[in-house]
Amino acid sequence: MKYPTSPVPSEKWNNFPRSSSPLPAPANFQSDTQSAASKRYKYLRRIFKFSQMDFEYGLWQMVYLFIAPQKVYRNFQYRKQTKSQFARDDPAFLVLLSIWLCVSSLGFAFILDLKFFQFIVFLLYVIFVDFIGAGLLVATCFWYVCNKYLRRDPLGQDVEWGYAFDVHMNAFFPPLTILHFFQLVLFHNFLSSGGYLSCIVGNFFWLMSFAYYIYITFLGYSCLPILQNTRLLLIPLPILILTYFVTLACGWNISLSLTNFYLYRVIS
């Protein structure tokens, strides 16, 4: 039996159906064809399937957001290469962050001596206003600004809104831990005393929190090759430092003021 030795002409090869290949499609083939809505649906559908979540990796991300946030975003780049999207496809980090929100809010309620119903109201405020509400607003603003003004190619690939919200979640975790955990350790015995030293330390907690949020947000967008001039996102840092010294000059204890605001929001 003789086999043909001449190659198949290119025009005939182009007419072959692509689906006839027995080999699997590349890893990013199906992801490229998915809409943002379908990706969001897949993400939300997995939120109650705990057996499919990688909680060990989520905990690793939380630790490294404190000590080396660059490594977290390096893994976001790996996801882009393998799954053709920067945004998370595993809701484990969101679940862990929600649990930490509840635990830290419980500690906050204990320090402030809130009753059960007041704790529930406080928790609802923290989740739906401070985290989700502010997150939707901030993520949408960054998503719009980056796509409108920072893209290298205005007609090329754009920043995913889901990725913008992921950046917010990453940047939200360190301030949450600083303000709802480390600050509370010193609140009753030191920060609530009203002295000038407590003003310095209490305001420094807020300075660190906002600085962490700005820096991690900057890292999130600077790692995207489709964006340029992302250093502009660091502009609030010197303004933040200046504001810190202004509050010290005025003797304004931000920790004490915002704690009183939390209490007013819950009790009133």
Residues paired with 227 in a beta bridge: 151
Domain assignment present for residue 19? The answer is no
**Axis-axis angle for helices 236-250, 196-222 (nearest 10):** 170
Question: In a structure prediction context, what are the per-residue pLDDT tens digits for the chain, which is 268 residues long?
Answer: 444 444 444 444 344 344 333 444 444 434 444 555 566 656 666 666 777 788 998 999 999 998 999 888 887 666 666 666 667 778 889 899 999 999 988 888 888 888 899 899 999 999 999 999 999 999 999 999 999 999 999 888 889 898 999 999 999 999 999 988 888 777 777 777 778 888 898 899 999 999 999 999 999 999 898 999 999 999 999 999 999 999 999 999 888 888 888 888 887 6
Q: What is the pLDDT of residue 80?
A: 61
pLDDT digits (tens, 9 = 90+) for 168-195: 999 999 999 998 888 877 777 777 777 8
Domain assignment present for residue 29? The answer is no
CA distance 247 to 233: 23
Q: What is the pLDDT of residue 89?
A: 77
Residues paired with 151 in a beta bridge: 227
Domain assignment present for residue 200? The answer is yes
pLDDT digits (tens, 9 = 90+) for 61-84: 999 998 999 888 887 666 666 666
Q: How many CA atoms lie within 13 A of 264 on its CB side?
A: 6
Domain assignment present for residue 1? The answer is no
Domain assignment present for residue 42? The answer is no
Domain assignment present for residue 4? The answer is no
User: What is the tally of structural domains in the chain?
Assistant: 1
Q: What is the pLDDT of residue 31?
A: 42
Cα distance between the two ends of the chain: 91
**Axis-axis angle for helices 116-125, 92-111 (nearest 10):** 140
CA distance 257 to 249: 16
Q: What radius of gyration do the chain's Cα atoms show?
A: 24
Domain assignment present for residue 131? The answer is yes
Domain of residue 163 covers 47-267
Sequence-ordered list of residues with C-beta below 8 angstroms from that of 234, at least 6 positions apart, any chain: 214, 215, 218
Find the DSSP H helices in 69-182: 69-83, 92-111, 116-125, 134-145, 161-177
CA distance 69 to 48: 27
Domain assignment present for residue 58? The answer is yes
